[in-house]
Structure 1
Amino acid sequence: MPTKIEKDAATGTDTTGHEWDGIKELNTPLPKWWLYTFYACIVWGVIYTVLLPSWPTLSSHFGGTSGWTRRGELAETLAAQKAGQADTRAKIVEMSIADIRKDPALMGYVQAAGRVAFADNCAGCHGAGGAGAVGFPTLADDDWIWGGEPEQILQTITYGIRNNNENSRISDMPRFGADGMLTKEQIADVADYVLSLSGTQADAAVLERGGVIYAENCAACHGEKGEGMHEMGAPRLSDAIWLYGGDRKTVIETITYARRGNMPAWIERLDPATVKVLATYVHALGGGQ
């Protein structure tokens, strides 16, 4: 219950006027050092909210009178780093990948920068280290759809595959089943023949029928023995390496509906130096030809 303010007999300090069960609260002043610190914090808080980004507004926030932002500071740091790398990146753009690989200093830069660029732009589809995934080619083996030579890899990364860029790589497998070009029985026969190219056994009569269908419809792109053709973007069929799966059901599905995966033209998203770094890095993953 509130009581009147009085002086405590023991300490000589005024009370606050409050008492609980006979216990009176003293009105002990705060230390001056604490008060001065408190006031200084208030002053600093006012200065901070004036100079730096602070109060929210209906559409954004007050940007501060100093013009400083953390984003701006980061942009300046990145710009400084980029400027420091300008000579190196200019060399990379001008040199061939073969010559870059002969330069230990440039390759050290490529390995570091390429690892970051690959993780940011490529690993989401092609997996860490180029391990690949269903529908996304492995980049660490020797099986290449469009060719694994350095300049072929650069071309693929630069302009992509089946996109709107005028220089994009284009291949267009027919939908043999969906468009009525082959019957289900014919597709089944040619699927068994295709699987036989990589060692799968099948009935001789089936293989004979499938071989005829393959020669008439598939060999022009995939080769007479399934060796593939880089110029056509036609995968090899004789090595048991499958982009979408090598079981009979999946092969039949591929022949019936075709596969038309696409890849961006990275030159539209990345600068030429980064594209060259990525091409050099991918070639060095272990599968470059």
Structure 2
Amino acid sequence: MQIPSGKIKHKMEKDNHTYLEVTEPAELMKFLMVKLPTKSRKDIKSLLAHRQISVDTEIITQFNHPLAEGQQVVVNWEKVLIEEQPQGLTIVFEDPYIMIIEKQAGLLSIATATEKEQTAYSILSDHVKKRDSKNKVFVLHRLDRETSGVMMFAKSEKVQQLLQKAWKEAVLERTYVVVVEGMVTKEEGTITSWLTESKAFIMYSSRTPNDGQKAITHYRVLKKNKHYSLLEVKLETGRKNQIRVHMKDIGHSVIGDKKYGATKHPIGRIGLHARVLAFKHPITGEVVRYETDIPKEFLNLFK
């Protein structure tokens, strides 16, 4: 819903700060898009990520933070970091302990024994070292090369260990959107199987209990037509290629995923995107939730 600009007014501007008064309930991102018309959504996300937005003196980093009538939003322009985004990924949230990025499709998460090319990890590592040669990043989880979307890195070994030890409890939600071949008739469902990997690095699914690693995937249909279906998928377990194998299991391979049975390749990439990551912050204890947009090339298939 678009917020009428007349409903939200500047309170004052001084000392490189902009003070905004909220006169009706709104989401923080929508509020700032209206009041900072020269700034793009990406610019505003950067302000949030670099802790330059506060609401009633509390620093806020979540774009969907709810605002109430009578609150004051302050934009601190003094700390604006003019920093190029690294090639192949976008930093969408950062604090002293963690970094959240949005990875492009086609980029490896980390190097493998056979592939040492540029990865999300190496690009981000080089990026933080430009600020200070002592800076490091630490891997917490991976996305398949062909999958785009949200990934999290730790900024110290201590934080990495804290998160990895409590990963199942700390990560509250991992939601993907996926475009599959054909019309999925069942509006929602759960797929459970046991996965094993062949010597050719292909994952196989078994319905026999304990015949591999247990994998559980929940899905619901968001959109569909006679050619494709757009699904929201939530992982209960995070096995290698889990979504891709499970979509093949139900007879609807992920588009572009020739490895797991796809015959259609309409967008030049695999139709899989990590959309939401929500977790309990390892240091502050607050719940952090980052949600990205559904890729336009996915939505264009349903126009």
- TM-score interval w.r.t. the shorter chain? under 0.3
Give the TM-score, by structure 2 length.
0.25
Give the structure with the larger strand fraction: 2
Report which structure shows greater RCO (CA 8 Å, sep ≥6): 1
